[in-house]
Amino acid sequence: MTPGELLHLPVSFPLETANRALHLGRTTGYELAKRGEYPVRVLRLGNAYRVTRADLLRYLGVDDRALPEGA
């Protein structure tokens, strides 16, 4: 994913999206999340795993202030 795509992610999103941004396969991403070893904080909501944009951007070193207001 490009920095622009990352900046336009919603506030939280499914683990699959974070896997794509981190270049992780589906199986590897879910295994890491289940073991508590995913590179960023993972929120478990029922059966779903979600990641926040802020945590992902911080991990990747993308400055979220680069997003223009209202975008």
DSSP string, 4-51: HHHHTS-SEEEHHHHHHHTT--HHHHHHHHHHT--SS--EEETTEEEE
Assign residue 23 a region (left: φ > 0; alpha: ψ between -120 and 50; beta: otherwise): left
Q: Check pLDDT > 70 for residue 18.
A: yes
Task: Using the predicted structure, report yes or no on whether residue 44 has a pLDDT greater than 80.
Answer: yes
- Mean pLDDT throughout 10-16? 96
- The enclosing H or E element of 54 equals helix 53-60
User: Once rounded to an integer, what is the mean pLDDT over residues 6-33?
Assistant: 96
Please say whether the beta carbons of 41 and 34 come within 8 A: no
Residue 4: the pLDDT is 85
